[in-house]
Structure 1
Amino acid sequence: MGAMSRRRDLWVLAVLVVLTGCADRDRPAIADGRLTATPGGLDFQRVAVFDGREAQVVLRNVGRARINVDEAWVEGPAGAWQVSFTHEGPHTLVPGSECTLRVRFAPSESGPLPATLVVRSDAKREPLIRVPLQGAGVDAWARVSPRQLDFGRIEAESSKTLNVTVINPTDMPVEVTPKLLGADRDEFSAATVSLGAGEQREVPITFSPGRVGRKQVALAVSPCRGCSDVAVQVAAESLDRAVVAEPPELDFGAIPVDKDSFRLARLHNISTEPMTVTELTLGGTEASFSHGAPGLPLVLAPGEVRSWEMRYSPGHMGPAEDKATFRVESKRNPTTDVALRGFGGAAELCVSPLNHDFGRKPIGSKTAVVVNVKNCGASNGGPLTLYGLEFHSLDGHPDTDVQFNVVPMQLPHRLLPGEEVNLKVFFEPTRAGATSGRLLMTTDVYSGNSTEIDFTGSAQEHAPCTLDISPVALDFGTVAPGKGAVLGVKVANHGGDLCAVKNMRLRDDGGGVFTMPGGALDGLVMYPGDWFSFMVAFSAPAAGGDFAGLLQLEPANPTHPLVLVPLTAHSQNACLVPSPRFVDYGVARPDCPMVPREVNYLNACRAPVTVSGVNIGPGTTDGEFVLNDTPGTPFTLEPGDGFTVEVGYLAQVNGLNLSPLFVASSDLPAPLLVPLIGESSKNVEKTDAFVQQDGSKVDVLFVVDNTASMVEEQPRIVSAMPAFADAALAKGVDLHVAVTTTGIDAATNACPGGARGGEAGRFFPVDNSRPRILTNTTPDLAGVLRKNVDVGQCAAVEQGFEAVRRALSDPLVNGADDPRTPERNDGNKGFLRDEAALVVVFMGDEDDHSPDSVDTYVRFLQGRKGVNQPQRMTIYAIAPTASGCPTSGGAGTRYAEAAARTGGEVLSVCTPDYAPLLRAVANKAFSAQDRFPLSEAPDAGSLVVRVNGSPVTTGWSYDGATNSVVFSTAPSPGAKVEIRYRRACGG
């Protein structure tokens, strides 16, 4: 039903009231009262729907008798009009008195809403009076938007304000009232606003959380006075912290000392507001942790994750802890921390070599190289496990046709700290041309589970091998139970081309009784006319018996690819007991007659024995051993009797010679064996060369560990340098000093000097930012030396010996520039002087990991100054010792061995002051050498001495006790001394 119909059809009784406050007198019987209303009509004009407007109507008794006003009501639209007395009744009006009515117009719909105010009294002539009422409802209420507010996720103790837009599209003023509901309404605030005609306003709603969690709250907005509420959905959450670390702790795990491990510290802004990160700092309790350039301040967008690289390079063994602190612009949580943990010491994989070129080999050959795999981590670093070894082709051929292979081993293979295993890798070419392959080694080492070792080689075709094998069978005769014997096989190349032979091994070891003392021979290549011999041993079991075995060789001959040498032996207790059981002539010379050796035989039985024959059986070279004095056979040997056999060795065939000496007796089915062994060498002449040292000239090379674990030690090295410089200057030594590092391969720019930590023997600094070869005349020698030993900490592997070998080898030692590198003028020319003594000082907190043996490097360094002049080349070391300490990585056994072999010293790297050792180095007396030891015993009268190329016949003598040539007056510094002699014959 429409609004106008309702106005026509609905008439309500407004209010029935009882008059009060008017005069209360007796009403005359013949008089009458008259009631008037002022004003005679009300027009409320336009009023907003749900708003209200009031006016008063005054009722006055203008008659002569009192009147009782009984009630007043409005006839009109229901709910739009209200009337009430301003005073409580009863309302009795005496003549001239008045009462007041309050009329309220509150339209609930728009449009004209006329009505009539009706007042009923007990007046006789006019009991009802009517007052017309006019008014119109206007649809005036604010429009509210949006209907949803999302405050997102913000940190507690912060605040965020969002606005609700209210618009009044009418020409009437409107009052808008926001109301907050719900359990968390106390964390929100809003204010009532009034809107003028056509006005638009923003109503701020502020979220100021104090408690953490999702909020239960709603917003009800009353768009006008009396209007129904408009619901606005509200979503909000309060966080304990807006910026969180993911993860809150970085555990680097166990890392070898000197190695690097990198982890990412991540900050996540889990709020919906931007957050500013201003600073990154470390706690400073552990020097092993560091970070890259932080790039702060920066703003983390809502939901954004940023990462910072953190580095752990343990400078000591054992646990390490620190904290990375990020400063955040936040009232509640001004910092976000990331815990840093690590452990110094882990399994560390050292592999040498990482690549190898086998060179050019014949097809059918077999060449081996040993790859050393070592767990070179600290003693507390735990085991390393080798899981897999796989060869892959790199030359385009399938993996099934790869020309390289490795000796199989039981996998997985576990290596404890310090343990190592040698992998034998073979090149066995079956096709001509160049080839390459890689061995992929899988381990559980921290830095990555795959290590690649590359191999190259090339193969050529040659004519089929023509071999001569002697003897064609090995017969060990009789060997007493529990005893052993060795015989030999000789392989000679009788062809006109190269001959490759491989896989010389026991095909059948007779149940374990036959062995090859030198081990199986993988392969070798012989030139025409060359030959070689190898031993085969027989170990007779206690039970005796007859045994057979088989030896094999594989020559490069397609028609005869396999050669077999039968092995036979018998073992039982014999009546004859030989003494000695074998004869070893040692190393002989063809021109030196060997003293014959005797073998005595005793009949240890209680019965006579008949000796039926004495002979030398087939050997590697028949005729090298001869019988000089032998009793005629047959003869009978009574119990307890004996006889002697004299055997000579001619030593005319170069190399190893083996033959069997057989004695046949009546108690044995096979003759009794006594092996004959000798080696002939043609190397007769020998020259020992020396360069006389100058006691006033010293070349000193410092080799400083530049790995990441040198955090504690490098400052001590720097501090000790003035002690060395002052002592050297005080002694007046003509000094050359240089510094290099233990780094071979470039690492990172964290190391100064221009080579990124990979000096590879070049003197520091490679970029020539300071003098690299210092002398006793260098201004502020101590200061420059301090700077030069401050080499940084970025390398991963200590290869001190290898660095020295490269530093003192071509092209560095004699060149001003290394042609292999892009850096200019990075050679070491001018440092090493022939007449000066050489001192090498290694400084590091972990042992050397260079690829070759200590002996190789020591011989190289001694060769720079003369092998038999140890005082001219001395090695010192500041390195880990057996006692160790938390900041060192294992014991420096290689450095200690090198120092001991050259007369040097080792100081523990754990010592807080390195100055005493460096003073000892500087104060070492390099006196002139007057005694020159020979490497072998000379023939009397064969000595020829030359100084600077000229023969010297007087002023020297030979001291047989020390096997030295002694000068009465020492040669002058720098003099070249050569002593040539003929090796004495062995006897």
Structure 2
Amino acid sequence: MACFLVLAISGCGSGVNGNLSVSTPSLSFGNVTVNSATTQVLILTSTGTSPVTVTAASVTGAGFSILGGSFPLMLNPAQTVTLQIQFQPTSAGAAAGQLTINTNSTDGGGTAVVALSGMGMAATSAPPAAPQLAVSTSNLSFGNVAVNSSMTQPVTLTSTGTSAVTVNSASITGAGFSIVGGSFPVTLNPTQSVTLQVQFLPSSGGAAGGQLTISSNSAISGAIIVALSGMGAAATGSAPPTDPQLTVSASNLSFGSVTVSTSTTQSVTLASTGTSPVTVNSASITGAGFSIVGGSFPLTLNPTQTVTLQVQFQPASAGAVAGQLAISSNSVSGGAIAVALTGTGVTVADPQLTVSIAGLSFGNVTVNSSMMQSVTLKSTGTSPVTVNSVSIGGAGFTILAGSFPVALNPGQSVTLQVQFLPASAGAAAGQLTINSNSTSGNAAIVTLNGTGVTANPQLTVSVASLEFGSVTLNTSTTQSVTLTSTGTSAVTVNSLSISGGGFSILGGSFPLTLNPNQTATLQIQFLPTSAGAVAGQLTINSNSVGGSVATVALSGTGAASAHSVDLSWDAPSSSPDPVVGYNIYRSTSSSGPFQLINSSPDAQTTYVDSTVISGSTYSYYVESVDASGVESTQSNEISVKIP
């Protein structure tokens, strides 16, 4: 026989309570230079007992904006999210605005407002560029020079201002005076120089005077004059033998390590050390990044005269470089002189430190208990960054372990553990300050906040009673009871006990501690062994301030099962006397005795025995009966076990 049971489930659920708190009611950005930006953080915290949804966030006011963020956004209880608010004024003057946050919070009508303020400041103008040109001498005296022979002297022009100076032209007047080589205009960056060679070649005897005029955009004077003087002397006696000799001040120049795309300069001095003028025909250079700054060839140096070459190294890529400066002259000691050049290009040192988070919110933490969160520091530059020190401020906030200074190679990271252990109830705020040599900012700040709360363990039980209804004897059914920690601190379930025939707890180990919002589900079983109504009780012992003992009433009914045996057989294929019915015999043992269980012969070839008892075994056989009541021999015997 089939039975259908209907379970009625009843209970009581609490209403949702999604609340959102904002870390500050206002943000003040102070003075900010026009067209530059500064950023502050705003922390949103879900402080209710159910999730809160931030549907939108908008900002008003010139220069104010939200960086990143995507809405809608759902925060589970105690979860936080950090918004980056930027102020970038485009004009000078005070600015005010408002950040509006729309939520489904049940506290505050669903809208939170944060006032924004700042002051745009005009940028301080840089001093004007100042090109300046300095000349190494204000006059050149050549003394006595034989007619139709020459003497050369140098004049060095140097850029001494704060911006590049352009030498537009150099002109000369006076019989016998001339500029040897040189090409104009020429631009000299600050500290760069160029050397002019001024020659006196008198064609007749007697005193000579002249003037070198240098025209430029120098802020001191656009025209600089160098006075020239000399004496043409008639040649006497036989000419001495020629002996041009050139000496170079260095056989090699080492530039060391130079940052890629920047330059450094070294000098090489050429001196005429013979008894007659020496001619420097050319100067050439090889090697990536090496060059000669200024200079014009060919160039004649009278005995004891010198000229200085400026050799520059400006690497375009990292790595060692070698080159050569080749000087060709008519020197009798060697017409070709080589100066070896070496240098190494190095990448720009760019230590950078990135902090994983701008703010940590610890939410509610029970007084004298602790919570930890982590902050990761990562080296994201192209050279190692050094974290010099880490400090923390704010009551209850500490850094656990960690030793500084520490150097992080590019890609390396270190994780700090920050602890909040409030000593008293109430809101707390602090700051983690990280000092490093990062080019993106020497000091990184992580804001800290949390709230100390008094211990308040609370346990809520999902139902006050469980009704199991009718359950067949020796079979079982199970229902659940959920225990929830609804306080602000952990609750301990010390023990469980159960009473009532057939009721039991499946699994579970106690004592058990549940942190706020944690749950545990109990499985309660009803397995009746006798018919009839049963009542019991589940008792839950805890340290809940709402009641240390909670009970759940239990009820159910044991129902006996209804069993029957369906018998059927075949009629005799032949019989000397007509069959009018059948007698059915039953025994609780296959060896008998058997008893007739039908009151009169049954005309059908089927029979239902509804008097069987659960757990028993029965044996049956059938005999046919004629009209005179005579029975045939018995049929085969069968046995049936009743569940």
TM-score for both structures, normalised by structure 2: 0.28
TM-score for both structures, normalised by structure 1: 0.20
Structure with the larger strand share: 2
Structure with the larger helix share: 1
